[in-house]
Every structure is written in structure tokens, then in C-alpha cells.
Structure 1
Amino acid sequence: MELTKSASFESIKDVRAENPGAIRTALENRQRRELIRGDGRLLIIAADHPARGAIAVGKNPTAMGSRRELLERFAEALSRPGVDGVLGTPDVIDDLALMGLLDDKIVVGSMNRGGLRGSTFEFDDRFTGYSIEALKNQGLDFAKTLLRINLQDNTSVATLEANARAVDEACKHEIPIMLEPFMAEWVNGRVVNDLSTDAVVLSVAIAQGLGHSSAYTWLKLPVVSEMERVMEATTLPTLLLGGDVDGDQEKAFESWNGAVSLPGVRGLVVGRSLLYPTSGDVSQAVDIAAKMVHGSSL
């Protein structure tokens, strides 16, 4: 099965081995777009999970382990109207660039992937992906960080500081940066995010104060109960995350639909829920999300 009309899985491998400079050329030559245009709302498809060791989807522990399948699903998702951009680590973004799928798309680079899922150092979430300087040099549009805060784990302060410095660098280069904060803790040897309304409000309060300016800071927040109260906690532009639907696609869609129209919410950033929908139909799932975000303007 071809990934696109011009790029097969095998041809991408050949280009990477024989002409690695083609990646930079593809990024430099892609058609860029304004961050905010039209109705001012965004639907971003995300796939930065594998680089953090998170390749499971629902009950399938290795669903995202096949790069061929991931790229095929991405190609299908990006072909749908209303998809504004992608979020990924350099390996994913480079593949999509070689496939010619980034024209007229917002490209969001994921910065910290060091807190590997299931590791003893998961809260020590070091910046092992993009830097702000790299995003600027490669002509990418947006930065994204994960900010899990454990008040009982000393390593959280290093992640807080790293996020603050990333915000500073983003402001310096005038690149929007999306912080994804959670209050979290160890539970039976696993990191568990606190998705209570109070905890999300607290995470917002902490995240939006990082750095010497919040001018270029956005938030990426989970959909929880009392989202109205969450959105009253900030003036920062906010995108809602999709998460793993864990078998209940309709419930996920219902929760997104109820929150995406709140003041301050600019759209959705969704990965596994749209790339690996329980229905198996990527196009249908993406179209439903796009309709939620863009409504009649689509």
C-alpha cells in the first residue's frame, strides 16, 4: 500500500540513507500558513507518543509500533478537510515532510520526551526532542511541552525550570509554545494524572506563570468536569487534548463537543483517538472532530 502518490514506505527509507539532506530541503520548501486564519480555530493531529515509549492504544500494547501503519493513518487523516496541522517529534515530522504532507499545515514540534512511560525517572521529563532554536531553524510553527507536576517528587522542579526556559526562548524567537500541564503522582509504581477540576485549575495556575513573559504561551488541557471553571482560570489560548478513548469513542466525542465551544478554547489536539479510532475508520473520526472544531465554516 502506498503512503502517498509519490512516497512509499521503502522510498522514505532509501532517501534517509542516501540523501538525508532531502529532509531539510522538504521542510524549507513546504508551503507555510498563518497560525490563525478563517474561523480562528485549530484541529491538530498528534503523534509524539512513541518517542516517550507510549505505543499502546486501548488494549493493544503495540498499536503505534508499526511506523508504516502510523504514516498510512496520518496520510489519511491529513487528507481530510478541516485538519489544520500536526504535532510530532522530529522523526515523525521528518517522515511527513518527505511524504509532502506538511504543505499548508501548522507544524508543532514536541520538545520533552525524556520521561519515558513506566520508567523510574518518568517525572524527570528532560528535553530530548526539539529545541526552540531547532524549530526556528527548520521553519516550524509551534512548540509543545509536557509538564507533569508531582508535589512529592523533587525531580518535578527541574521539569518546571526547563519549561520556563523553553517559554523564554519561545518568546525570544516569537514562536508560540503550548504547555500541557498535569498535577500527577505515583500510584502503585505508575504515574497517574489527577483529572479532578481542582487539580487542572491548579496546574493551569502554575503553568501560565512560567517564564519571563506569557505573550507566546498557549495551554493544552484535558477535558474534565466543570470545564467552564477551568477556562475561567486563564486568559491564555487553549487547545483541548483528546487522550486515549479506551474503547468509548462516542463518550469522548460527546465530552469534546461540550467543551470545544467554551470561550478561550481554540480547538483540539488529538492523536490516538483519531488515528486509531475504535471504529477503525480514520476519515470518519477525523471528520467528526473537524466538524466539532470548525462547524459551519468547514
Structure 2
Amino acid sequence: MRDDALRDLVRARAERPESIAAAAAARRRRPLVGPTGRLMLIAADHPARGALGVGDRRMAMASRTDLLDRLLVALSRPGVDGVLVTAELAEDLMLLGALDDKVVIGSMNRGGIPGTAFEFDDRFTAYSADALAAANLDGGKLLLRIDPSDRASADTLEASSRAVSGLAARGLMAMVEPFWVRRDSSGKPVNDLSPDAMIRTISIAQGLGTTSAHTWLKVPVVAEMERVMEASTLPALLLGGDPTQAPEETYAAWQKALQLPTVLGLVVGRTLLYPPGDDVAAAVDTAVSLL
């Protein structure tokens, strides 16, 4: 990002904070799913959990201007429908005029910081359903990690249920990302990506709230995807994995899963924003070609 563009952005925030609400209100919206019936979203809500690493680059996402530059490139590519972001990124992108005619999903619960004692007390510290509606956005995403050994998971379940109901009441997408958690030999919590664990969490996630009319699932590509996706009739988006190891195999797995009837698209973040060689446009184009 050029220095003058950064200064303009900071000046707007410092001198005209009301310009953020004005930009949100004026944003041109589009249907959630376009003519192709597919949805391609770029995720960049990782820093709000303190997750700044990409592969062996420990602080890859530390520069906000670099992240914005990468997002602008990704959003400019044909076939990219929108973004999944927290409020400050959505507001920067709106002030930069990059979110017209794009789907914008706001990330909601960012309080469960990895590696902390409160990781599974996953508070809703970002968008609320009311705030998403007020910001003229298209939906909200919530992470649902269930650790059977941690009582705090029950509070996350309850808060997630309220969020799904609140989003539905406002006609906004509720994107639910479910994981069952197990403990490794050192006691560290890790997502259980076995087919049975995914079926179990999908079954729980789709039952959240007073209605599932606006609920979508965000799921990783795991073994036995055909059997896993039979657990639900809700629309689903694939959570893009990390293809730094054997990327051709990763893309092939995405493409195969995209043939399943409930899978309508991709949500991919660091994989495309920080690809090997840093060619964001080429990485995004490859992912779009799979749809």
C-alpha cells in the first residue's frame, strides 16, 4: 500500500470516523449466491485470534498493510465473491472501495485465543448479529470447537445457538465451522479430523438455534467426505487446507469434494493470501478454476 493511501486511510479514521458507517451504508450488495450457484470467499480473520503464522513464516500476517494489499489483489480476481473478515478489516476495505458487489461475512467469536487457559471459553468479541445488520453485511461466521474435557465448551455452544437465531431473525447467513477436539499425548488440544468426529460435530452444529433457514456449514476436507457430507442437507463451503505440502493433492481433494451436492464453494485464507512464491493472483485463480 502506498504511503499516501495509508495516510488517507488513517486520516479518515482519525478525523472522520463517521465515514466508516457512511461507507457501509452506501456499499452495493449482491445476492449471496450468484448465477453460478457457487461461492468463493477469501478468509482473513486469523489475526484477531493472534494467529499470524503461515507455514514456517511465524509472523507472516503481522503487517496490516501487506495483508490489505494481498486482499485487494484477491478481491480483484474474476470469480472471487467476497471475504470473511473482522470489523477493522471490513472497514478498511470499505474505505478503500473494495467491497462493492461483494459478499461480506463478519467473523463473530474471536475470544478463544489458542494456547490460553480460556481457549474454549470462546467469547463473541467481534461482530454481533445486530452489528452485522447495522454494518450492511451479509452474514456472520462462528467457530464451534467442542472439547468434551472442558466445561467452557457448553458456554460456547449456548452463545453459538443465540448467534444462529439472531442472524436468522435478520435474514443473514450463519456460517458455522464445527470441530470436535481431542487431546494429544502432551495434553494439547487438536481438532479431530476423523470422519466420525466430523459427522458428530456437523450433526450438533446444524441443530443450533431456533431455525436452520440461514445456516451454512464451513467444513474441512477430510477422509470419506461423501459419508461425512451425508450428515447434513445444509449448504456447505469447504475450508481450504494448507497445500504447501503436495499442493496438487490438496487441490485435487478440493475438486473432488466440490462435486458433492451440498458443497457450494470454498472459503480459503492464508493458503491463497500467502502462497509459495507469493503470487496471490495465480493462487486465487487456481482455486477459482476448481469451482
Q: TM-score range with shorter-chain normalisation?
A: over 0.9
Work out the CA distance in 2 between the residues paired with 1:77 and 1:190. Answer: 34
- How much does 1:247 deviate? 4.2
**TM-score using structure 2 length:** 0.96
Aligned partner of 1:144 in structure 2 is: 141
- How much does 1:189 deviate? 4.9
Work out the CA distance in 1 between the residues paired with 2:249 and 2:2. Answer: 33
Matched, 1:154 2:154: no
Work out the CA distance in 1 between the residues paired with 2:177 and 2:283. Answer: 23
Work out the CA distance in 1 between the residues paired with 2:258 and 2:50. Answer: 29
Q: Identity over the aligned pairs, expressed in percent?
A: 54
Give, as a single letter, the amino acid of the residue that structure 2 aligns with 1:218.
W
Work out the CA distance in 1 between the residues paired with 2:20 and 2:246. Answer: 38
- Classify the secondary structure of the residue corresponding to 2:277: coil
- How much does 1:204 deviate? 0.4
Aligned partner of 1:57 in structure 2 is: 54
Deviations 1:135-183 (A, max 9, x none): 1111100110000001111110000000001111112111110000000
- How much does 1:79 deviate? 0.5
Matched, 1:185 2:182: yes
- How much does 1:246 deviate? 4.4
Deviations 1:39-74 (A, max 9, x none): 110000010000011111001111011001100000
Aligned partner of 2:110 in structure 1 is: 113
Structure 2 vs 1, CA of residues 82 and 154 (structure 1 numbering), >3 Å: closer, same or farther? same
Partner of residue 124 from structure 1, selected from 118, 121, 124: 121
Work out the CA distance in 1 between the residues paired with 2:127 and 2:219. Answer: 21
Aligned partner of 1:2 in structure 2 is: 2
Aligned partner of 1:289 in structure 2 is: 287
- Poorly superposed stretches of 4+, deviation over 2 Å: 185-191, 243-252
**TM-score using structure 1 length:** 0.94
Matched, 1:48 2:45: yes
Aligned partner of 2:97 in structure 1 is: 100
Deviations 1:196-231 (A, max 9, x none): 111111110110111111111110000001110111
Q: How does 1:271-286 map to 2 (within 5 A)?
A: 271-286=269-284
Aligned partner of 1:228 in structure 2 is: 226
Work out the CA distance in 2 between the residues paired with 1:2 and 1:76. Answer: 14
Which stretches in structure 2 are left out of the alignment for 5+ residues? none
Give, as a single letter, the amino acid of the residue that structure 1 aligns with 2:274.
Y
Aligned partner of 1:83 in structure 2 is: 80
Give, as a single letter, the amino acid of the residue that structure 1 aligns with 2:223.
S
Which stretches in structure 1 are left out of the alignment for 5+ residues? 294-298
- Classify the secondary structure of the residue corresponding to 2:164: helix
Aligned partner of 1:21 in structure 2 is: 18
Partner of residue 210 from structure 2, selected from 198, 209, 212: 212
Counting matched residue pairs gives: 290
Aligned partner of 1:252 in structure 2 is: 250
Work out the CA distance in 2 between the residues paired with 1:128 and 1:265. Answer: 29
